[in-house]
Amino acid sequence: MRRKLTFALMSLAMLISALPLWAHHAFAAEFDAKKTVKVRGKIAKVELINPHSWLHVDVDNPDGTTTHWMFEAGTPNVLLRRGFNKNSLPVGTEVIVEGFQAKDGSPRANGRDITFPDGKKIFMGSSVPGEGPPPDAAKQ
């Protein structure tokens, strides 16, 4: 019983750590914590807007069509204060994005993680000294 409880608490902790740090509105209002999604595509647009930023990713489908995914992100003001800017996630970069899909099943999700297809984490852009992108990052 105790082991089950520990496992349940650990699972809960993992779930909480995967959810947004804080939001203008309640996560559960729109997104389903049980409905994880993982897509691979190219960044189409980064909107540093309030109350939440949005990352747009174009995902090519096997039938030749493209699905435009939108990932809800954090509030931009604190990021901007720490040096994050519109160049930090360049348009056209190929990425893998993970998140929790909207309850209505549309290609909209609350974002959780971004990586490059080769497994490297997304770079910082040139906004933090010494933490710039690899020279060929934009071509990846």
Partner 1 sequence: MHTIHRTSILTTSGLIAGGLALVLFASVASGQASKGVPPSEANHFIGTPAGWVHPKTPWGDPDLQGLWPLSYVGSTMMQRCGGDQGRPGPPNCDPNRAFRTEEEYKAALAAAAKQVDRYADNAKQGEAGRAFLTGLLDFTVPQRQTSLIVDPPNGRLPEMTAEGKRLSALMKSSWPLPGETLVWDSPTDFDTWDRCITRGMPASMFPFRYNNGVQILQVPGYVIINLEMIHDSRIVPVNGLPPLSGAIKQWMGVSRGRWEGNTLVVETTNFKAGASGVNIATVGAPPGNRFPTSEQMRITERITRLNHDFLLYEIKTEDPVVLTRSWTARFPLKLDNEFRMEEYGCHEGNRAIPDWISSSRAERAAQAAAAKQ
Q: Per CB under 8 A, which of residues 14..33 are in contact with partner 1?
A: 19-26, 28-31
Q: Give the side-chain half-sphere CA count within 13 A for 108.
A: 10
E strands, 1-140, in order: 31-47, 54-60, 66-72, 94-102, 108-115
d(CA 109, CA 99): 6
Can residue 88 be called a binding residue for partner 1 (CB under 8 A)?
Answer: yes
Can residue 59 be called a binding residue for partner 1 (CB under 8 A)?
Answer: no
Q: Per CB under 8 A, which of residues 100..139 are in contact with partner 1?
A: 102-106, 108, 111-115, 120-125, 128, 131
Q: From the list 39, 44, 59, 79, which residue makes contact with partner 1 (rule: CB under 8 A)?
A: 79
76-82-86-89 Cα dihedral, nearest 10 degrees: -100
Can residue 45 be called a binding residue for partner 1 (CB under 8 A)?
Answer: no
Binding site for partner 1 (CB under 8 A): 19-26, 28-31, 47, 49-55, 71, 73-82, 84, 88-89, 95, 97, 99, 102-106, 108, 111-115, 120-125, 128, 131
